[in-house]
Amino acid sequence: MRTRDNRFWIQGLPSFRLSRRDFLRALGAGALIGLGPIVEACSPGTSQPAVTPETETPQRGGNLTVQLTADPESLDPHVTTHLWASRTLQMIHDTLVVLDFDGTIKPGLAESWEISPDGLVYTFRLRRGVRFHSGKSFTAADVKYSFERWKTTPRSPTAYNIDQVTAVETPDDYTVVIRLSQPFVLLLDNLSIGWASILNREAVERLGQNYGATGADGTGPFKFVEWTRNQRLILERNPDYTWGPKIFSNHGPAYVDRVEFRIIPEEGTRVAEFEAGNIDILSDVPGVEVFRLEKSANVSVVKYDQLQTAYIGLKTSDPILRDVRVRRALNHATNKEEIISSVRYGLAIPALGVLHPKTWGYWKGIEQAAYKFDPERAKQLLEEAGWRPGPDGIRQKDGQRLKLNHITTDTQAAKLQAQVVQEQWRRVGVELEIRSMESAAFFAALRAGEHQTFAISVFYSNADVLYFYFHSRQRPAPNRFDWADPKTDGLLERSRSTLDETQRLQIYEELQRIVHENALWVPLTHDVGVVGVSRRTGGVKVHPSNWLYKFLDIYVKTGQR
């Protein structure tokens, strides 16, 4: 098998690994191409920031080299859902509000805001003295222009984040009024994501279709300098930037003079460049390398919690899986610890339900209620459902074998995970037929409903991931469970319009209970994110959903390589 072959080579070559992607991206093929709202759409979530253990005084100056796995698609926030695009364009542009490291919303370009009691009118007071890189002053007209462009650009894939917005008004240069068609508690969260960046109309009109490709003009801490496709993207410090959000220690200008992003897709290559000292920040450390790099004297690794869940989805309308006892049996048959140690290199915690424990709205009751790894219980449930062991150990009912397909991406980690699960389920008499395919075909197959079970992972920033996955409107994707339940739908709609936080918490808990009791999926793991940091780099603090965000606190120590 290929996996084995590659491992052989790994042993021969310290510091190199031949499989293409680390486990995170392998499972969440979506992360490569961007997951839309759930990757960056945010809400009160609470995650601990990860900080490099430094107590030195930050220094100004120096160039920072950062590795990226893929070229960002575009730096125009309204035409892409690409993960690296959202991460890089937030350095150039700013948003009205920002998401703090603890998941709360804090002022950005808006100094303050008021929400009308009915939740339909949001009034923002804008910060004065803010300028675009081109020198133009930032005013309410820019906000109106940007939001209207976001909503109406024909190819704007993320416009649905502000579906409820009916009008953007500008009573004066420093006031913006946003009117909604119905209360939407996630509006501020959605205005904190990269796609909600404020653009300069003149620059957009001057550059036309080339906006975000050959240039960009924002109010952010870094200016666009040069972008050579598939090679490097260079940004330089905006010396006038003094309006950095208070969630950072440094409010601007940024410490480093320049940030050079180098595009290095191959894992072995990027780790070698990192260890050779040519890269200061390694964006994704391959799981297999973490242990070794942790012990290295020249570099350090920073682990951080991210709101992410890897799971196996079950299609509830399937003739076999329609029986909830079968779905529960599959939950009991799955050994998450084994997946963590064999596929995740120990860099994960078992997932009990939909939400990461640090998500605002997490239901603590799941810790008692969760399906434990218990093959005997799984067998018992399958017996109750009428599935009896056949001659080869695979269960049968009315002459039909208990055989399920399992659609997964074609990365090494995804295939390995599928094989581990296949073996675990076989022990209780379930046969799993693995179909692995490259990501575009993978998502197409799921959309076409060819699956009975499938594996994927999701990144989110708030409990609205529940709406995203389980509302009947979200079929065929992302509701690939084909779950259509009026009670669930009603609760999900209320979760978006209920202004009272206590009530909202109750709704979220009830929803998690429904997903759990109906065993709509097999939650697997919450994976830990890892970035590599060179010895000369300080101030690295990873945001749970915005990665290195605005690079304001990061500095380079002079005199060190």
Partner 1 sequence: MYRYILRRLLVMPVVLLGVSFLTFSMLHLAPGNPAQIIAGPDAPQEVVAQIERELGLDKPIYVQYWNYLSGALRGDLGRSIRTKKPVAEEVLAALPNTIELAVAAMLIAPTIAIPIGVLSAARRASWVDASAMFGALLGISMPVFARGLILMWLLAFSLGLFPISGRGGPFWTPDGLRHVFLPAVTLAIGLIAVLARLTRSAMLEVLNQDYIRTARAKGLAERVVIFRHALKNAMLPVVTVLGLQLAGLLGGAVVTETIFSWPGVGRLAVDAIRTRDFPVVQGAVLVTSLTFVFVNLIVDVLYAYLDPRIRYD
Residues that bind partner 1 in the complex, under the rule CB under 8 A: 9, 13, 15-16, 18, 29-30, 33-38, 70-71, 73-74, 76, 79-82, 154-155, 157, 159-160, 209-210, 212-213, 228-231, 262-266, 268-269, 272-273, 275-276, 278, 437-441, 443-447, 468, 474, 477-478
The secondary structure of residue 560, as a DSSP letter, is: -
Q: How far is the CB of 476 from partner 1 (least distance, A)?
A: 8
Q: How far is the CB of 232 from partner 1 (least distance, A)?
A: 8
Of residues 10 and 51, the one with the C-beta less far from partner 1: 10
Q: How far is the CB of 449 from partner 1 (least distance, A)?
A: 13
Of residues 214 and 558, the one with the C-beta less far from partner 1: 214
Of residues 117 and 154, the one with the C-beta less far from partner 1: 154
Encode 443-481: b = buried (16+ Cβ within 10 Å), e = exposed.
bebbeeeebbbbbbbbbbbbbbbbbbbbbeebbeebbbb
Q: How far is the CB of 209 from partner 1 (least distance, A)?
A: 5
CB 422 within 8 A of CB 455: no
The amino acid at 203: A
Q: How far is the CB of 292 from partner 1 (least distance, A)?
A: 14
Nearest to 50 by CA among 460, 530, 535: 530
Q: How far is the CB of 230 from partner 1 (least distance, A)?
A: 4
Of residues 62 and 157, the one with the C-beta less far from partner 1: 157
Helix, strand, or coil (residue 50): strand
Of residues 33 and 370, the one with the C-beta less far from partner 1: 33
Q: How far is the CB of 447 from partner 1 (least distance, A)?
A: 7
- Residues 179 and 121: their CA atoms lie apart, in Å, by 5
Q: How far is the CB of 280 from partner 1 (least distance, A)?
A: 15
The DSSP secondary structure of 250-265, one letter per residue, reads --SS-S-SEEEEEE--
The DSSP secondary structure of 142-178, one letter per residue, reads HHHHHHHHHHH-TT-TTGGGGTTEEEEEEEETTEEEE
Of residues 423 and 438, the one with the C-beta less far from partner 1: 438
Sign of CA dihedral 550, 31, 471, 356: negative
Helix, strand, or coil (residue 218): coil
Alpha-carbon separation of residue 379 from 329, 330, 353, 375, 376 (angstroms): 7, 9, 22, 6, 5
The amino acid at 298: N
Of residues 331 and 411, the one with the C-beta less far from partner 1: 411
Q: How far is the CB of 374 from partner 1 (least distance, A)?
A: 32
Strand ranges (E), 232-381: 232-237, 258-263, 281-282, 299-304, 308-314, 348-350
Of residues 64 and 79, the one with the C-beta less far from partner 1: 79
Instruction: Provide φ and ψ at 368, rounded to 5°.
Output: -90, -40
- Residues 448 and 457: their CA atoms lie apart, in Å, by 19
Of residues 37 and 544, the one with the C-beta less far from partner 1: 37
